[in-house]
Chains A and B, each alone.
Chain A
Amino acid sequence: MAEVRLTVNGTDVALEVEPRLTLVDALRHRLGLTGTHVGCEHGVCGACTVLLDGAAVRSCLMFCVQAQGHEVTTVEALGEVDDLHPLQAAFRRHHGLQCGFCTPGFLMSAYELLREGADGGLGDDRLREELSGVLCRCTGYAGIVEAVQEVAREYPDGLPAPKALGRPITVRRSVPPPGEEQALAAASAAAAARGQAAGAQTHVQVAVPEGEPNETVAVTTAISPSPVQTWELMADFMRLTRCMPGVELNTDHGEDTYSGRVGVHLGPMRLSFQGAARVLERDGERRRLRAVASGRDASGSGVQADVTVSADPGGGGTGTALRAEAKLYLSGRAAQFGRSLAGDVSRGLFTEFGACVERTLTTGEAVTPRRLSGAAVAWRLVRARAGALWRRVRGPEGDAP
């Protein structure tokens, strides 16, 4: 716990908080200031906008501890029920709200915008851009823009200060509601039991993913060992997977099924997928291996993969063209955040995989792949793009117009 002292709406307050408590949760739950709303909790909707030392900020993207010594102004300070701030009055006149959820965000964002006065007025386009940090799902924005535009015209030299400053604020203690502690303890015991049960389970099943994958990648690496040598390593699945950065298979469940974890580090993001893999096909003649894998991360992200690795004679009659083709199925947060990165990241992983297979075969030792977070691997990824070591499997839309 950390002690935080800050000024909220002109009143000095001190409270003990867990460092991970966001400013908006502190305002609402510890200071009882529920005028600030919290919507998306990741900086998209803008409902939680407050003023920090006069600047409009998203209070869900700040921890309360960061506000130490600062001055926070919330919508409660703007006006009183029978003495509205001109911005509030204009929102009411122009129907700038319906459900009211986004309203505190719009009011505080607009307050910062017009506080010093809109010198020479604001065009509608510019105003819409300035207000784009807050989302409204009811009004279609027309009333909001009209309200703010009217206030901008009425107060060219700046807005009246907030009217309701210096009210007493009661700091509430952070105590879980009665029964919650027991409920939490029971839930965590149940989760532990489930984990144990899963660990003890000997019959692990890995389904073949179905439907349209989020991403398809194909990476071909030219390596110096012969296809026959390469196949020897491919035939030993657990040893082969050690060449994949972040993969740690530790249990052989029989029937060519294995379990373990896959760690992916990407800047600040760290995912750790617990899961299993099953070999579906081993074709020694064509030196082809197909496996499916699935895993889940504690963040609620899921990944499934259908991977085929093949070792064909290399170009020019020497070495091997080691080809990895993967269909990836992402779900949960990783898919939400991933944008178009899953392909880039997997290509980087498979490129390092190819390099590691080469090192393993030429040194005859168990070689650990470099982590993707290492600059070397990432740089390889960039070079791979430039040098077209791989070719993205393109859909019909991939062609240049």
Chain B
Amino acid sequence: MKAAPFRYERPLELVSALTLVRDPEAKALAGGQSLVPVMAMRLARPQVLVDLARIGELEGIERRDGELVTGAMVRQRTLERFAGLEHELPLVAAALPYVGHREVRNRGTVGGSIAHADPSAELALVAATLRARIEARSLERGREISAAEFVRGPFQTALEPGELVTAVRWPTAGPEDRFAFAEVARRHGDFALCGVAVHLRRGQGRVALARVGLLGVAAVPVVHEVAEQLDGAADPAAVAADVAGQLEPAGDMHASAGYRRRLARVLVERCLRQALGGPSGG
């Protein structure tokens, strides 16, 4: 299991990297925790590998008005240890420990995980649930893409050829926001069978916003809006059953479709109850 030969480039500036990735045979290397294994298996054989690790423009975590902006090359572990993360981005803080293992998060990057678009990636799910904004750049232009529209299929994103993710803009939590995250995998750190992220906002005694995001049960992260149901005093169990009933998960050797759907129902109910502040069911 050795990667096929490639040319290695380590640009120091974003513009050089953007020039290099215009080559259709080139592939950007961020933390390498997903790309290097598929290269070892020779499922991927890029001719040019563009290492983004020395580009200062892709580093750093910055507080801006109502959001936390993470450079694409911020390591997942750096974000996990960012002081105040559990207050500013409680959902990210709750989901990060489920991303691979400590050793993987030491190398894995925020932008790399988002751009790889693995259907069971926690960060992509959280980004879609929070409606984070993905900043992308090509030589021609820079643009922002809503995380809810970023993942287009398994390993498929809205990125165009020659475009790189440069940062992720996460909306920080307000005083009325509540969150919950839960996931079941065969082994800790393994690809999840099902994961659930919930973002709930109360205002004036009403449920103003309720989003339920699910991973592992479709080709892309799925986000359901359930505020109306919850506001209409629907029981979390009924909402969970409704959400799970709309899923069409695929079965594989790790879990059947029926088991995944059942798992989705249990985890959604548990997360909703946690976010609503009641006893956790399921």
Q: Which residues of A contact B (CB under 8 A)?
A: 2, 18-20, 22, 25, 41-43, 46, 49, 52, 55-58, 60-63, 65-66, 68, 109, 112-113, 129-130, 132-133, 266-271, 298-301, 333-334, 336-337, 339-341, 343-345, 348, 372-373, 375, 378-379, 381-382, 385, 392, 394-395, 397-401
**Beta-carbon contacts of B153-195 to A below 8 Å, as 1s and 0s?**
1111110100000000000000000000000000111010000
Contact pick for A63, options B8, B42, B46, CB 8 Å: B8
User: In the complex the two chains form, what is the Cα distance from A300 to B187 in whole Å?
Assistant: 27
Q: Can you name 15 A-B residue pairings with CB atoms under 8 Å?
A: A19-B6, A20-B3, A41-B1, A56-B102, A63-B32, A112-B102, A129-B97, A133-B189, A266-B155, A268-B116, A269-B43, A337-B43, A344-B219, A373-B156, A392-B250
Q: Which of B216-244 contact A (CB under 8 A)?
A: 218-220, 244
Provide the residues of chain A in CB contact with B111, threshold 8 Å: none
User: In the complex the two chains form, what is the Cα distance from A342 to B187 in whole Å?
Assistant: 22
Tell me how far the C-beta of A141 lies from the nearest C-beta in chain B, rounded to whole angstroms: 12
Number of A-B contacts (CB under 8 A): 194
Provide the residues of chain A in CB contact with B1, threshold 8 Å: 41-42
Q: B119 at the A/B interface (Cβ < 8 Å)?
A: yes
Interface of B is mostly: loop
Tell me how far the C-beta of A388 lies from the nearest C-beta in chain B, rounded to whole angstroms: 8
Asked whether, in the complex, the Cβ of B117 is within 8 Å of the Cβ of A341, the reply is no
A61-B37, A268-B46, A400-B244 are known; give 5 further A-B pairs, CB within 8 A. Answer: A52-B106, A61-B104, A63-B8, A269-B155, A382-B219
User: In the complex the two chains form, what is the Cα distance from A334 to B3 in whole Å?
Assistant: 16
Provide the residues of chain B in CB contact with A299, threshold 8 Å: 41-43
Q: What 5 pairs between A and B have smallest CB-CB spacing? A: A267-B155, A133-B101, A378-B153, A19-B8, A340-B252
Asked whether, in the complex, the Cβ of B116 is within 8 Å of the Cβ of A46, the reply is no
Tell me how far the C-beta of B9 lies from the nearest C-beta in chain A, rounded to whole angstroms: 9
Asked whether, in the complex, the Cβ of A340 is within 8 Å of the Cβ of B250, the reply is yes
Known: A19-B8, A132-B189, A400-B244. A42 touches B40 (CB 8 A): yes
Q: Which of B60-103 contact A (CB under 8 A)?
A: 77, 97, 100-103
Contact pick for B261, options A43, A109, A266, A401, CB 8 Å: A401
